[in-house]
C-alpha cells in the first residue's frame, strides 16, 4: 500500500508478527502521526526559535562596531502590552514605540493566550526547567504535572475565584491602577523585565567570569583554544561587568524557577500579570479547544495540561494553546477550532472580593509609598544622574519600564540600577555611577546606544550632537581633596580625560614648586567651565584620589526645592 | 582523593602560586641591546601618500629589514587611546599603521601584535580610529589587532628609575615575548606633559592605575622607558593636534603636516617632533628626564638628520 512508504521503514520488517487488528490500529496511529507534523512540535519549534531569537537579540544588545544598532534589539519589550499599558498610563501619553504590542493584542483576541505558550521566553525556559526536573521528580515520586497532585490543593478548593489564580488578576489590577496614579510598579512583575534584568545584572557578569576562568583553567587543552575566540566574540559579553542588585535579580528569577517544584508553570498560572492581561482578552478568543472540557470517561488531557486549564470545562484565560491535549488525546478527538458556542464554561478566577482588594491596594500604594517617607525622608540626591536625554525625574520614572536594556547595552557599565535613591518606585531604574569601577565607568562621549534600545522612550533616541546639548550633569571640584589644589601635587588627569572638544576643564593657576630632591614640578590648578561640561563623568571615574573622586558630577537641576548651587568654580 | 589528600594539595598549590608570583627583571636582556656608538640617525620625510611615506622614511634607515629579523615576534604600538576619528588627530593614522605592519610582515616577522590600552572603550577606539579595520584588511593571519586583557600585565622592577621602582607592563611588549618593539605614536598637544610623542606612548602598554603616573609625569614617563625599549620609533606627524589634546575633537585644532619622523632613538625623535610645534626640545620635561637617564640624544646638533 502506498501510504506505507511514508511510514517508518521497520513497518515492512515485521508485517506478519502482528495480528490483523493490531496492524490496523498501528496504521491509523502512524497515519495520524506521520501525515501531520503534530501541533505541539510546531509549538516547540516556535518556542525554541523565539528563545534563540531572544537570546541572540540579548547578545546583540551590545556595541559591536557600529554607532547605530541594527534595530529590533528591544522587540520583545515592545511586544509586551503590559509594559506598554503601564508606561502609557503612568506617563499619560501614547507611546508609539509600543505599536508591536497591538499585534499581540489583536492576535490574542483571535487565538487566546498563545503568547505564553509559543513566544514568551520565560515560559519556554520554565518548560525546559520542568523537563530537567522530571527525572528527579520520578525518583522522589513527586508529581509535578497532574491535577491529582499539589496543584489541586491550590486550585480546586473553594468556589471559583477563590483560588490562587486570582493572585495574577490582583497583581494586574494593582500594577495598572498604581500606574494610573503615576506609581510605576510594572518592572517588578513583568516577566520579560524580570528575565532580562536577571540576565543582565547577574547572568552576564557570572557568565563572563565563569567562561573566562574556565578557559584559563583549560589553557587551550583538548582543542579548546580553537573555540575560544568564537565563544568570546559571540557567546559571552565583551567584558567583566559588575552590577548592583545582581543578587536580588538572580534571587527573584530563582524563586520563579523554584516554584516550578510546586506546580508546573506556577508563575504563569498564578502570578504573571502579563498572562492575566492576555488571558482576559483571550476569554473571547475565536479559536478554542473542542470538546470544551475533558471527557468524563478519560480525563487524560486534564492530567497533562501544564496550565491546569481543563476540568469540567475549559478555562480559556488559562489555555496557552500548547497543543499537548490535541496531540496526546488517546481517542484523537481533541482539536482546536473556531468556537461555535459563545458559552463560557468557567467564570473568571477573580472574586468580587479579590477585585476590590486589588483596587484598594493599587489605589493605596502611592499613598503608602508617600507615608514610607516618614522612615526615609525624600531628600533628593544631587548625585543621582539619569541617562542622557532623560526628562525630569518624575517623567523618567513613569516612562521607564525597568527592562534593563540600557544597562545591558552600555559599553562602560556606568548605567547601574538605582536601589532606594529615588524612592521605592525607583528601584531598578537606571542611573549613572561614574566611579562604580575606577577608570572604567563613565558615559562614552560619542555613544548613543541606551536611547536606541529603550523600548518606552524614557531615554530618548538622540543624535550625538543632541546628546551634548543636554548635559547629564555638571562637574564640581572638591578643592580640599584635589591634588593640585589641596596638596600642591601635579595631576590634571581630569583635564586630560575631558572629551569636550574645547575641554570643559581648564587651568586657572599655573606655578612651579620644588620637590624634596630640588626637582622642579609644575602645578596646574584646574576649574570647570560649566558651559562646556556634558556631565559624562570620565573625570570623576579617572580621578586618582583615593575614595570618592575630587571632582564629581551633580545633577543639572537643583533637585531639592529651595536649594541652589551657588558655587562658581 | 580523600580529604587529607585534598587539603594537602590545596595547601601545596596555594603556596606554590603565591611564591611563584612573577616579578620580571628585564635588565639583563636590555643590556645586551645597547645602542651602537656614534651619532644617532633620524629621518624626516614628507608626502601625501602615507603608505608610501612609511617606505620613504624607512629607506635611509635601511628599510624595515634593519629592525625586523626573520621570525621575529613584533609589537607595533600605535596610539589608539581615544574614541576619535583619524582626521581628529588624536590617534595614529591607520594608513601609517597598516604600512608599518605590512613592512614588518614583508621582513618575515613571525607574529605582529598591534594593540594599545585605550582610555575610552577599547572597541570604540579600535573601530573609530580605523586602525583595527586597516590592520585586518591586510588579511594576514600573522597579524593580530586585539584588545588588551588585564591578565596580561605583569609587574616589572625598574631598577634605575628615579621616580618609580616598579610598575605593571604588558608581557607581550617585553622580552622574551617581544623581539622587536616598534613605537608609532601620533604627535599631539597634552596640557600636563605639554606634548605627547614617542616617550609618552609607552603609557599604552602599562597596566594598573595610570593616574598615579601624573603625580610626577615627566620623570615617570622616562622611568617607564627604561623598561620598554623600542627598536624603532616612527612619529606620526601627518597631522598634529595643536590644542585641547590629548583628546582633541575639534578640526580647527588640527594642522596637516604630512610628515613622518623615524629613528631608533626615541629621545631624538621626540626632540625633533617638539620643534614642529614651534618649541625647543627642552620644552618637554620627559625628553629632558629621558636624556638624563641616557635613553637617547636630545641635542639635535648631535643627531644626523636626513630630510626626504
Mutation target for A interface from B17, B91, B117, B121: give the one with most A CBs within 10 A: B121
Q: Do A411 and B124 touch (CB under 8 A)?
A: yes
- Name the residue range of residue B91's domain: 41-307
Give the closest of B120, B214, B246 to A490, CB-based.
B214
Chain A residue at shortest CA distance from B85: A446
> With contacts defined as CB-CB under 8 Å, which chain A residues touch B247?
496-499, 503
Give the closest of A496, A498, A515 to B192, CB-based.
A496
Distance of alpha carbon B175 from alpha carbon A218, whole angstroms: 25
Number of H helices, E strands in chain A: 25, 8
pLDDT digits (tens, 9 = 90+) for A478-507: 999 999 999 888 999 999 999 999 999 999
Q: Do B215 and A499 touch (CB under 8 A)?
A: no
Neighbours of A489 (CB within 10 A): 18
Q: Do B191 and A492 touch (CB under 8 A)?
A: yes
DSSP conformation class of A500:
S
The answer as to whether B24 is a domain residue is no
**Is the distance from CB of B72 to CB of B180 less than 8 angstroms?**
yes
The answer as to whether B72 is a domain residue is yes
Mutation target for B interface from A501, A502, A521, A551: give the one with most B CBs within 10 A: A501
Cα–Cα nearest to A386, from A445, A451, A336, A342: A451
Neighbours of A110 (CB within 10 A): 14
pLDDT digits (tens, 9 = 90+) for A393-451: 888 999 999 999 999 999 999 999 999 888 778 899 999 999 999 888 999 999 999 99
B285-292 vs B266-276: helix crossing angle, rounded to 10: 160
pLDDT score of B208 more than 50: yes
In sequence order, what are the beta bridge partners of A288?
A: A337
pLDDT at A416: 96
Distance of alpha carbon A137 from alpha carbon A131, whole angstroms: 10
Neighbours of B234 (CB within 10 A): 30
Give the closest of B83, B209, B216 to A444, CB-based.
B83
Q: Which residue has the cell 492576555?
A: A278
Q: Which residue has the cell 620627559?
A: B286
Residues in B whose CB is inside 8 Å of some CB of A read 82-83, 119-121, 123-124, 127-128, 151, 190-192, 209-212, 214-217, 219, 244, 246-250, 253, 285
pLDDT score of B60 more than 80: yes
The answer as to whether B82 is a domain residue is yes
Give the total number of structural domains in chain B.
Answer: 1
Q: Which residues of chain A have pLDDT under 70?
A: 1-35, 137-162, 340-349, 369-380, 558-569
Give the closest of A216, A493, A521 to B211, CB-based.
A493
pLDDT at A378: 58
Chain B residue at shortest CA distance from A490: B215
What is the biggest distance separating any 2 CA atoms in chain A, rounded to whole angstroms?
A: 110
- Residue B150 is part of a domain; what is its CATH number? 3.40.50.11440
DSSP conformation class of B88:
G
C-alpha cell at B41: 640617525
Give the closest of B190, B210, B247 to A498, CB-based.
B247
The answer as to whether B154 is a domain residue is yes
Mutation target for A interface from B209, B247, B284, B286: give the one with most A CBs within 10 A: B247
Q: Helix, strand, or coil here: B303?
A: coil
The answer as to whether B56 is a domain residue is yes
The answer as to whether B1 is a domain residue is no
Tell me what ipTM this predicted complex has: 0.83
The answer as to whether B88 is a domain residue is yes
**Is the distance from CB of A289 to CB of A334 less than 8 angstroms?**
yes
Backbone phi and psi for residue B181, each to the nearest 5 degrees, phi listed first: -105, 120
Chain B residue at shortest CA distance from A238: B123
pLDDT at A245: 93
**Is the distance from CB of A255 to CB of A60 less than 8 angstroms?**
no
Distance of alpha carbon B308 from alpha carbon B293, whole angstroms: 30
**Is the distance from CB of B264 to CB of B214 less than 8 angstroms?**
no
Cα distance from A401 to chain B (closest Cα, Å)? 27
Distance of alpha carbon A431 from alpha carbon A452, whole angstroms: 16
> With contacts defined as CB-CB under 8 Å, which chain A residues touch B124?
63, 411, 444, 446-447
Distance of alpha carbon B97 from alpha carbon B182, whole angstroms: 10
pLDDT at B143: 94
Q: Average of pLDDT values for B135-139?
A: 93
SS3 per-residue string spanning B160-203: CCCCCCEEEEEHHHCCCCCCEEEEECEEEEECCCEEECCCHHHH
pLDDT class for B215, splitting at 50, 70, 90?
confident
Cα distance from B27 to chain A (closest Cα, Å)? 26
Sign of CA dihedral A515, A517, A520, A526: negative
Give the closest of A439, A490, A543 to B217, CB-based.
A490
Q: What is the DSSP string of A31-89?
A: HHHHHS--HHHHHHHHHHHHHHHHHHHHHHSS--S-SS--S-TTHHHHT-HHHHHHHHH
pLDDT at A439: 87
Distance of alpha carbon A92 from alpha carbon A182, whole angstroms: 9
pLDDT at A364: 78
Q: Do B151 and A495 touch (CB under 8 A)?
A: no
pLDDT at A567: 55
pLDDT at B223: 92
For chain A, give the percent of residues with pLDDT over 90. Answer: 44
> With contacts defined as CB-CB under 8 Å, which chain A residues touch B214?
490-493, 496, 544
Cα distance from A214 to chain B (closest Cα, Å)? 14
Give the closest of B83, B192, B285 to A445, CB-based.
B83
pTM over 0.90: no
pLDDT at B125: 94
Question: Up-side HSE of residue B259: CA atoms within 13 Å toward CB?
Answer: 19
Amino acid at each position: 500500500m502506498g501510504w506505507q512508504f511514508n511510514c517508518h521503514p521497520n513497518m515492512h520488517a515485521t508485517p506478519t508478527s502482528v495480528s490483523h487488528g493490531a496492524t490496523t490500529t498501528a496504521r491509523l496511529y502512524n497515519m495520524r502521526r506521520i501525515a501531520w507534523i503534530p501541533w505541539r512540535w510546531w509549538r516547540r519549534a516556535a518556542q525554541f526559535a523565539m528563545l534563540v531569537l531572544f537570546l541572540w537579540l540579548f547578545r546583540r544588545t551590545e556595541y559591536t562596531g557600529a554607532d547605530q544598532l541594527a534595530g529590533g534589539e528591544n522587540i520583545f519589550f515592545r511586544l509586551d502590552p503590559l509594559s506598554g499599558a503601564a508606561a502609557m498610563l503612568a506617563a499619560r501619553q501614547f507611546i508609539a514605540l509600543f505599536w508591536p504590542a497591538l499585534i499581540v493584542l489583536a492576535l490574542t483576541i483571535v487565538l487566546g493566550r498563545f503568547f505564553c505558550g509559543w513566544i514568551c521566553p520565560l515560559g519556554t525556559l520554565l518548560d525546559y526547567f520542568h523537563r530537567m526536573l522530571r527525572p528527579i521528580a520520578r525518583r522522589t515520586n513527586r508529581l509535578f504535572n497532574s491535577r491529582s497532585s499539589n496543584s489541586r490543593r491550590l486550585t480546586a478548593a473553594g468556589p471559583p475565584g477563590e483560588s490562587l489564580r486570582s493572585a495574577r488578576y490582583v497583581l494586574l489590577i494593582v500594577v495598572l491602577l498604581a500606574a494610573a496614579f503615576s506609581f510605576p510598579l510594572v518592572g517588578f512583575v513583568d516577566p520579560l523585565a524580570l528575565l532580562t534584568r536577571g540576565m543582565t545584572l547577574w547572568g552576564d557578569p557570572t557568565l563572563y567570569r565563569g567562561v573566562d576562568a574556565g578557559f584559563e583553567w583549560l589553557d587551550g587543552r583538548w582543542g579548546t583554544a580553537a573555540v575560544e575566540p568564537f565563544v568570546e566574540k559571540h557567546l559571552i559579553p565583551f567584558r567583566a561587568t559588575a552590577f548592583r542588585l545582581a543578587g536580588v535579580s538572580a534571587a527573584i528569577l530563582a524563586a520563579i524557577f523554584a516554584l516550578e517544584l510546586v506546580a508546573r508553570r506556577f508563575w504563569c498560572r498564578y502570578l504573571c500579570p502579563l498572562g492575566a492581561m492576555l488571558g482576559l482578552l483571550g476569554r473571547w478568543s475565536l479559536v478554542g479547544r473542542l470538546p470544551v472540557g475533558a471527557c468524563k470517561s478519560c480525563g487524560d488531557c486534564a492530567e497533562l495540561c501544564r496550565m491546569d486549564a481543563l476540568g469540567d470545562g475549559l478555562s480559556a484565560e488559562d489555555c496557552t494553546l500548547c497543543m499537548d491535549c490535541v496531540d496526546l488525546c488517546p481517542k484523537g478527538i481533541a482539536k482546536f477550532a473556531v468556537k461555535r458556542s459563545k458559552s463560557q464554561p468557567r467564570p473568571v478566577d477573580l472574586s468580587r472580593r479579590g477585585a476590590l482588594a486589588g483596587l484598594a491596594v493599587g489605589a493605596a500604594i502611592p499613598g503608602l509609598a508617600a507615608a514610607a517617607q516618614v522612615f526615609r525622608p525624600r531628600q533628593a540626591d544631587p548625585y543621582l544622574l539619569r541617562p542622557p536625554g532623560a526628562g525630569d525625574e518624575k517623567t523618567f520614572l513613569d516612562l521607564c519600564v525597568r527592562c534593563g536594556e540600557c544597562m545591558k547595552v552600555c559599553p562602560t557599565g556606568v548605567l547601574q540600577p538605582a536601589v532606594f535613591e529615588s524612592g521605592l518606585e525607583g528601584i531598578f531604574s537606571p542611573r549613572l555611577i561614574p566611579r562604580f569601577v575606577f577608570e572604567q565607568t563613565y558615559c562614552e562621549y560619542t555613544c548613543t546606544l541606551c536611547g536606541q534600545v529603550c523600548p518606552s522612550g524614557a531615554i530618548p533616541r538622540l543624535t550625538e550632537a543632541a546628546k551634548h546639548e543636554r548635559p547629564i550633569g555638571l562637574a564640581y571640584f572638591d578643592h580640599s581633596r584635589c591634588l593640585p589644589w589641596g596638596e600642591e601635587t601635579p595631576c590634571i588627569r581630569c583635564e586630560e580625560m575631558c572629551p569636550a572638544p574645547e575641554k570643559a576643564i581648564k587651568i586657572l593657576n599655573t606655578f612651579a614648586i620644588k620637590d624634596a630632591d630640588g626637582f622642579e614640578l609644575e602645578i596646574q590648578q584646574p576649574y570647570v567651565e560649566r558651559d562646556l561640561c556634558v556631565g559624562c563623568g570620565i573625570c570623576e571615574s579617572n580621578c586618582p584620589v583615593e575614595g570618592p573622586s575630587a571632582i564629581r558630577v551633580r545633577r543639572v537641576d537643583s533637585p531639592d526645592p529651595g536649594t541652589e548651587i551657588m558655587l562658581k568654580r | 582523593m580523600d580529604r587529607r589528600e585534598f587539603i594537602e594539595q590545596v595547601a601545596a598549590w596555594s603556596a606554590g602560586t603565591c611564591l611563584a608570583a612573577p616579578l620580571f627583571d628585564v635588565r639583563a636582556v636590555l643590556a645586551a641591546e645597547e645602542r651602537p656608538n656614534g651619532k644617532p640617525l633620524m629621518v624626516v620625510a614628507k608626502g601625501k601618500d602615507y603608505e608610501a611615506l612609511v617606505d620613504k622614511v624607512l629607506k635611509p634607515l635601511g628599510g624595515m629589514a634593519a629592525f625586523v629579523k626573520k621570525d621575529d615576534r613584533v609589537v607595533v604600538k600605535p596610539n589608539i587611546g581615544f574614541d576619535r576619528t583619524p582626521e581628529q588627530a588624536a590617534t595614529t593614522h591607520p594608513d601609517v599603521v597598516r604600512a608599518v605592519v605590512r613592512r614588518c610582515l614583508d621582513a618575515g616577522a613571525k607574529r605582529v601584535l598591534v594593540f594599545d590600552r585605550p582610555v575610552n572603550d577599547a572597541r570604540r577606539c579600535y573601530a573609530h580610529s580605523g586602525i583595527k579595520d586597516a590592520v585586518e584588511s591586510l588579511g594576514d593571519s600573522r597579524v593580530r589587532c586585539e584588545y588588551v586583557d588585564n591578565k596580561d600585565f605583569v609587574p616589572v622592577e625598574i631598577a634605575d628609575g628615579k621616580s618609580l621602582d616598579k610598575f605593571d607592563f604588558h608581557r607581550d611588549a617585553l622580552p622574551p615575548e617581544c623581539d622587536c618593539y616598534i613605537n608609532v605614536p601620533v604627535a599631539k598637544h597634552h596640557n600636563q606633559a605639554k606634548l605627547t610623542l614617542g616617550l609618552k606612548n609607552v603609557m599604552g602598554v602599562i597596566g594598573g592605575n595610570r593616574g598615579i603616573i601624573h603625580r610626577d609625569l615627566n620623570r615617570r614617563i622616562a622611568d617607564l622607558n627604561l623598561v620598554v625599549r623600542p627598536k624603532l620609533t616612527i612619529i606620526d606627524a601627518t597631522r598634529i593636534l595643536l590644542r585641547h589634546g590629548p583628546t582633541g575633537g575639534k578640526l580647527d585644532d588640527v594642522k596637516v603636516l604630512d610628515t613622518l619622523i623615524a629613528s631608533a632613538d626615541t629621545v631624538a625623535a621626540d626632540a625633533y617632533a617638539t620643534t614642529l610645534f614651534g618649541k625647543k626640545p627642552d620644552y618637554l620635561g620627559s625628553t629632558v628626564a629621558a636624556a638624563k637617564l641616557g635613553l637617547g640624544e636630545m641635542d639635535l646638533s648631535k643627531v644626523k638628520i636626513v630630510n626626504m
